[in-house]
Amino acid sequence: MSVSTGREFLSIPGPTNIPDDVLGAMHRPAVDIYSGDLPHVTMSCLEDLKTVFATTGQTFIFAANGHGAWEAALSNTLSRGDKVLVLESGRFATAWGEMARKMGLDVEVLPGGPRRAVDPQAVADYLAQDAKRDPGQQIKAVLVVQIDTAAGVVNDIKAIRAAITEAGHSALYFVDVIASLGCMSFSMDEWGVDVAVAGSQKGLMTPPGLRFNAVSAKAMSAHERADLTTHYWDWTARLAPEHYNKYCGTPPEHLLFGLRKALDMLLAEGLDNVFRRHALLAGATHEAVRGWGSSGALELNIIEPQERAASVTTILLNEQHIVPLLDYARDNCNVVLGIGIGDYNGKAFRIAHMGYANAPMLLGTLSVIEMGLSALGVPHGKGVQAAIDFLAREVPAGKQHLGETGAAGEADAKSPETTTCAGQTCC
């Protein structure tokens, strides 16, 4: 097969596939940054991001990558020497902690298992001990990710919040939702999250380059006392009425046009439908891996089913087979799979099922993997058929689209009440 024919299947966990409508929305001339449509685009995006975050708090847009959103959260709320607690699960929470340390913060890490989610009871116990050691509660913030794309794990953000409360601790609660926002349920206000950080290039279906903070009243109060605040990230400066202050200068115009269209698409599909679609695609992927693994060569990284992410699956495979499989899929079939990163480098590969994705796209990717396993002589069972059987059970005949009804593939997916998908084909 020639890689010059047909569309490339990008199956990596970011950047993800960009809808043609989003690309089309960006295909326009530059506009005035002070008047006209652009200020309205900014304000409408900030408002609709509140819906996606499920918050009444402030939202902010930065021209940055995920590390920028991390730095904005830390610098706007904390002061040099403050202590933060990082909840380890995969790669990215600890990387956030490494950034905090370089910014002059005192970082403690609650270790976690490489194939498990954060244990909320362990969080409660650790914070209770901290309160006993120091009634002043030196830990000022707790940092965690909802989904870690390296491990393919999802953490129970609501339960961790309950653990912080159980310990009687006043720490701010920071959650990275870069790989989960727009892919699974996230209820910022209900779950007591103080700062949520997110990005454009995963569930929000927009090119890389935009990052977001959603901020509670408690975090805004802490912002008034923080001494790490810098001019570019400063939340207060970005609340000024002048449009250019929303971005500390020239806005990233065309990314904003793309984001506006992506938010329109998500809200038209309905967030419950979006979450249901991701849960089903994840469930089908997990069934496929279990099918392949019946011969012992492949294995899901995350042990407990309820701790497996809705947006990405990490698959353990013998080191000698990983590079040949990725090369085979890319060079022969135009399918790009995710490499293992961090502790999983050379030990795993990843399948993304997030953002602009549906059943044919996923089944195509799974079929190419199974084809590659056969071509390379890697022992495996029948995974694609297992995925098809799963979707056939969960999306019975007569249903209009993948997100409509049925049992959820992950705990937070909800059966939507609507029976439409705004004209979109989700399956």
**What are the residue ranges spanned by the domains of the chain?**
9-16+270-394, 31-267
Among 85-89, 239-243, 249-253, 423-427, whose mean pLDDT is lowest?
423-427
Mean pLDDT in residue range 127-150: 87
Residue 411 scores a pLDDT above 60:
no
Determine the topology of domain 9-16+270-394 in CATH.
Answer: Aspartate Aminotransferase, domain 1 (3.90.1150)
288/205 Cα distance (integer angstroms)? 25
pLDDT of residue 145: 98
Mean pLDDT in residue range 78-103: 97
Residue 427 scores a pLDDT above 60:
no
pLDDT of residue 400: 62
Band of pLDDT at residue 336, cut at 50, 70 and 90: very high
Residue 407 scores a pLDDT above 70:
no
Residue 76 scores a pLDDT above 70:
yes
- Amino acid type, 387: A
Burial of residue 355, with CB atoms counted within 10 A of its CB: 0-12 exposed, 13-18 middle, 19 or more buried: buried
Task: Specify which of 5-9, 229-233, 398-402 reaches the highest per-range mean pLDDT.
Answer: 229-233
Band of pLDDT at residue 279, cut at 50, 70 and 90: very high
Residue 418 scores a pLDDT above 50:
no
Band of pLDDT at residue 399, cut at 50, 70 and 90: low
Same fold, 9-16+270-394 and 31-267: no
Residue 409 scores a pLDDT above 60:
no
pLDDT of residue 419: 28
For 183-193, how does the pLDDT look when each residue is reduced to its tens digit (9 = 90+)?
A: 999 999 999 99
pLDDT of residue 28: 96
Mean pLDDT in residue range 61-72: 97
Band of pLDDT at residue 114, cut at 50, 70 and 90: confident
Q: What percent of the chain has pLDDT over 70?
A: 91
pLDDT of residue 232: 97
Torsion angles phi and psi, residue 313, rounded to 5: -120, 130
Domain 31-267 falls under CATH 3.40.640.10: yes
pLDDT of residue 317: 97
Residue 384 scores a pLDDT above 80:
yes
Spatial CA neighbour of 99 closest among 224, 197, 202: 197
Band of pLDDT at residue 137, cut at 50, 70 and 90: low
What does the chain come to in residues?
A: 427
Give the mean pLDDT of the chain. Answer: 92
Residue given tokens 């938010």 in the structure block: 263
pLDDT of residue 203: 98
Residue 425 scores a pLDDT above 50:
no
Mean pLDDT in residue range 36-59: 97
Mean pLDDT in residue range 335-345: 96
Mean pLDDT in residue range 131-151: 88
For 172-220, how does the pLDDT look when each residue is reduced to its tens digit (9 = 90+)?
A: 999 999 999 999 999 999 999 999 999 999 999 999 999 999 999 999 9
